[in-house]
Chains A and B, each alone.
Chain A
Amino acid sequence: MLDFIPSLPIASWVDDAVKWVTNTFEFFFDPVKDQFGWLLDTTAEYLSMIPPIVIILLVAVLAFFMSGKKFGLAAFTIIGLLFIENQELWSELMYTFTLVFYSSLLAVVIGIPVGILMSKSNTAESIIRPILDFMQTMPAFVYLIPAVAFFGIGMVPGVFASFIFATPPVVRFTNLGIRQVSTELVEASDAFGATGQQKLFKVELPMAKPTIMAGVNQTIMLSLSMVVIASMIGASGLGRNVLSALQRAEAGAGFVAGFAIVILAIIIDRLTQNLNKPNQ
């Protein structure tokens, strides 16, 4: 019916755009790929060199104190991590942890300032919000392709893909948390002559902290959920075991690696939730 409009060549435009970006920003992508890739590999390697029992005990002690000196989480941590060690997935666990750690860190470091910007300006909010929707709903496989074009294969594009998928919650929660600070408190800080910066750091961020921490927790969980997809573009870790189990139809191996991811997720989730103790 609409034959008189020729099919628009969007796909080839995007191809051209990706090519152009890859070539034009090579000077940026290449050093990032090399140096960030080196950082990721080195971190994971160093972590793998530490005897597992040391890490297990450290995490258990951390869990004990952070959960208010209760034994539940510490016990779960010890049993869970010993299980992973027992299944000979320890070094994969270290790689996965490294991937999650750096992508979450990147998401938080970039996401919180963007969330603050969004909360301060309605224009910024109306521009950023659809971008966040895009990042969260666009199927991950779609941006794996340009990720490989930019960063080659390995851990770096894995971090990039996780970052895209995992950043929106921390941005949204930061925005929400700051906008939810009661008018009276904002007025109080203005009425006493606080500058914008003082208001942000002395009133708004402390008030929004519980909400922002809920966002950080979500971000970490989402980046963890990306490890299998990241392994498709060469990121090492537990995801790769799941992927190869899938390819060889090995239900058992797949289950074990998947279970290890779940254990890691629960430990990280409970630990970060305990960071989020309510204010007085």
Chain B
Amino acid sequence: MPVIEVDNLSKIFGKRSKEALSLLDEGLSKEEILKKTGCTVGVNRAKFQVEAGEVFVIMGLSGSGKSTLVRLLNRLINPTAGDVYVHDDNLSTMNKEQLRRVRREKMSMVFQKFGLFPFRTVLENTVFGMEVQGMDKEEREKKATDALELVGLGSFAHQYPSQLSGGMQQRVGLARALANDPEILLMDEAFSALDPLIRKDMQDELMDLQEKMQKTIIFITHDLDEALRIGDRIALMKDGSIVQIGTPEEILMNPANDYVEKFVEDVDRSKVLTAENIMMRPETVDFDKHGPRVALERMREQGLSSIYVIDRTRQLKGYVNADDVLEARNNQVTSLKEIIKDDMPTVEMETPVQEIFDIIHDAPVPVAVTEEGKLRGIIVRGTLIAALANVNGNGVEDNA
């Protein structure tokens, strides 16, 4: 039983939309319709179902109609034709009052540029959905506080959005959408405005949250990596039409047509991706400040068997192994300097991913990514393989 069912959903922008619609049924292309009627086809007879608890990614380049499609799902844009069912209720035939109830109770939305109200505090932003429902103040503030805790912003409740970083602002956007515990989350390029590293953090965090919450998520993106990372299924859009729907595997293995294939090929990331794009945030200890105990504690927390050592200026000094640190601690050694090792593999931020593969092969620890000797990130085997596998399975085998 799907949570959302979209049937023959079309949106045509322009005055002669009815005429354009019948031309669309006759099989004319987007360009031909634009020429004949002056109307733009935003979404062309989209058809798909989303199951409960699924992360359904709609992906396409700009102008492919993905943002229009997501807005048709909660009728921020009214469809020209077709139906959207949420469970068994057809949104297309609802009156304003019924529609408002669905928006309030069943689905909420996260926006690309966060959509936060600048004159409201974080908490006041988070309560917004419940405030317009008329929930009483105490209850809505409690729920909002819980939602803020969930995204790790509990202590920022009384700040204004402008006082937060982009990543934190989008957490507020997420908290606002989650506060009322809706069944469906619509996320319109929610992470596209964020820096790559923060974007990755947010993707991971969303996945963690999703594991707990099991929402039905419709996620819009133009980024294939992001789609592959978080999507249970992906719908690829081009010129307003959905050209393929499938799991990430299916999309990569059996591209439905030339367009998808080109798309997937185009992203031969192993050639263009550099260490910077795939690195993760490193766990480190500072040997000027920290001794074996801190190092051990950090490794235990993160489940690591080794940890990188830096100095006060983030210069990479080497790494220490858990075994050595344990021994040092038992022998009452207070400095890490004696057990530090420096045979770690290092690459620069600009090193292409392809080259890292040769280095990582027999490295004892994750590859360190440095910039002028400063540690910027690390790369572990898993992420590297995933990055390569996304685009060419063969490449991995050749190099292995």
Contact = CB atoms under 8 A, between A and B. Distances in A.
Given A187-B111, A188-B109, A280-B160, A193 B119 contact: no
A192 B129 CA distance: 5
Contacts, number: 67
Given A185-B115, A206-B117, A207-B119, A190 B132 contact: no
Interface of B: 71, 74, 76, 100-105, 107-109, 111-119, 128-129, 131-133, 160, 162, 176, 186
A198 B114 CA distance: 20
A202 B132 contact: yes
B103 A202 contact: no
Which has the most chain B C-beta neighbours within 10 Å: A185, A187, A191, A207?
Answer: A191
17 contacts: A184-B113, A185-B117, A187-B71, A187-B109, A188-B109, A188-B111, A188-B128, A191-B108, A192-B103, A193-B100, A193-B104, A193-B132, A206-B119, A207-B118, A279-B119, A280-B119, A280-B162
Interface in A173-194: 182, 184-185, 187-194
B117 A194 contact: no
Contact of B109 (A191, A194, A202): A191
Contacts of A195: 100, 132
Contacts of A192: 103-104, 108-109, 128-129, 132, 176
Contacts of A191: 74, 76, 103, 107-109, 186
Nearest to B186: A191
A203 interface: yes
A128 B283 CA distance: 63
A225 B121 CA distance: 40
Which has the most chain B C-beta neighbours within 10 Å: A190, A193, A206?
Answer: A193
A190 to B, nearest CB: 6
A191 B162 CA distance: 22
A190 B117 contact: no
Nearest to A206: B119
Given A203-B117, A279-B118, A184 B129 contact: no
Nearest to B75: A190
Nearest to B162: A280
Given A192-B132, A193-B100, A202-B128, 5 more contacts: A182-B113, A187-B109, A190-B76, A192-B103, A195-B100
